[in-house]
Chains A and B, each alone.
Chain A
Amino acid sequence: MKKILGKIGTHSILILVSILSIFPFLWLISTSLKGAGENIFAYPPVLIPQDFTLENYAGVWNRVNLLGYFINSMIVAAGTVILNLILSSLAAYPLARMEFRGKKITFFAILATIMIPFQAIMLPVYLITIKLHLIDTVNNTAGYIGLIMPFAVSAFGIFLMRQAFLGIPREMEEAAIVDGCNVFQIFWRVLLPMVKPSLAVLAIFTFIGSWGEFLWPSIVLTKESLYTLPVGVNNLQGMFSSNWRFIAAGSIISIIPIIIFFLAMQKYFISGENEGAVKG
């Protein structure tokens, strides 16, 4: 009896928290589906649209280049992920497997960057990006590169990959050397395939971070045609001042891709095995 009561209690709490977690989205969806004939400020509020319509979606889709924002976000996120995978594993390999002068100091210098919050150094980062002409006023390609470069490598990624390399038995390299591999072949053909799970974790978390990034793009971007989704969605507020039906529809469209990604990759997020892989 006590056990059953406990289970009911557990489920009621979890159901309540689940509803609280998704309610803001549900309310946004509800608003986005309400037609002009329905008061969205009605008291009491109505969750199920009475004057159901998809017009708000069509309206915001026609007026705002949401597809363009999506493509921009894809370019930036893909570039950030690829560079992180390559640069982190390149840097991690010698830190895990080689002896060389200055190894300790390199290690601690990289570790030190973890302590520097981007928010505190964003101003000089901006000035440097302008100096390097990596800004959208030069041309679109420069704009994309400027969005990517400050996040193209992170200490987090380097240490994640270093951990992965440290876990590979030395015999693997020895066997490869006997087989006549040089250092680059060892890295590319032997070691890298063995750390695929860590590469996947790094790719997924870098992708999520890059996809949601708001501060940096809102600082550097000047052209609407280069807006990423978060910047573009924030901009909806200004465009449609108090047309909450449109703002809601645009916001909902913007989160569909990431929700699909999340559901497809859910085991990486909710299996509980990647505790060490999450960013602080």
Chain B
Amino acid sequence: MFKYYGKYVPYLFLLPAVLLLVVFFFIPFFQTIVLSFQDYSNDIYNASYVGLQNYIELFKNPIFYKVLLNTFIYLIVAVPILATIPLFLAVLLNQQIRGITLYKILIYLPVIVSIVVAAIAFKWLYADQGILNYVCQSLGFPSIGWLTDPKWAIYSVIIVTIWKGIGYYMMIYLAALMSVPKELYEACDIDGANFLTKHLNVTVPYIMPTIALVVTISSISAMKVFAEIYVMTKGGPLNSSKTIVYYIYERAFENLDLGYASAMAVVLLIIVMIFSLINILCFERNKYRL
């Protein structure tokens, strides 16, 4: 096909989007790195270059290890659950049964509703004299300080993230299940395989790429969690539910410690970029037609 457009037309079309991406992604990206080598703690208007000092302080700070550990706990608890339970539900929903649309709507509802309202709703369930503690007591357990006990707070927050994510990943799995050839299941039925062996031997291997996709995207979003923590615990008690993003927020916007927060942001950038790179190169190649 001949060129029906002028030499500069492509750039004209790209300009507005690229301009915004430069201003709100690329410049901030490099500025984060620059800020991480500066110190603002003495004078917010006058930065001094301090080399690696922010990083050295960061790696000496026990709270930094605590928030890294908490972020890690978030990953190892939330990701396996978000990779499996939605798959199980998707398998159940991938049948000819009544009420399928209603089930999908109800299970997807938490995805749609603002995380702030979700966190408030759970805060109410978690209240000291709340309904969850009533359940605990009637089952013969002592009450739990869901959000006030350092042992439990992070898990209580993770539960909200999981609850809000299940419907989302279930829909991703459902789309993948539609592509599994029916003949494979028919072969299983002839062999008399039961529910579990059938799906472990046919479904799981067939949609392995989707499972891997869910693992990477749920990992990335677990590392970005903020609102749940902000609304429910503010990172407390005793930093027990503070993750790296929340700590960055706190240092940057409450303590105005720009350099220190940026050094932490660089650490977060490196971790998330590794996961994203894996995601793009391994699972989403088709989406970008690389």
Contacts and interface: CB of A to CB of B under 8 A. Distances in A.
Interface of A: 6-7, 10-11, 13-14, 17-18, 20-22, 24-25, 27-28, 31, 41, 43-45, 86-88, 90-91, 93-95, 98-100, 103, 106, 109-111, 113-128, 149-150, 152-153, 155, 158-159, 163, 166, 170, 173-174, 177, 182-183, 186-187, 208, 211-212, 214-215, 218-219, 229-231, 233-234, 236-237, 244, 247-248, 251, 254-255, 258-259, 262-263, 266, 269-270, 272-276, 278, 280
A14 B89 contact: yes
Contacts of A149: 20, 24
B171 A275 contact: yes
Chain B: interface size category: 35 or more
Contacts of A278: 168, 171-172
Interface of B: 1, 3-7, 9-11, 13-14, 16-18, 20-21, 23-29, 31-32, 35, 89, 92-93, 95, 97-99, 101-118, 120-122, 124-125, 127, 129-131, 134, 137-138, 163, 166-168, 171-172, 174-176, 178, 195, 217, 220-221, 223-224, 226-227, 230-231, 245, 248-249, 252-253, 258, 261-262, 265-266, 268-269, 272-273, 276-277, 279-280, 287-289
B108 A269 contact: yes
B220 A117 contact: yes
B31 A127 contact: yes
A276 B231 CA distance: 31
Given A24-B122, A121-B28, A91 B131 contact: no
B209 to A, nearest CB: 12
B13 A123 contact: no
Given A21-B110, A115-B280, A251-B121, A90 B17 contact: yes
Given A91-B17, A183-B4, A275-B171, A123 B262 contact: yes
B171 A272 contact: yes
B14 A106 contact: yes
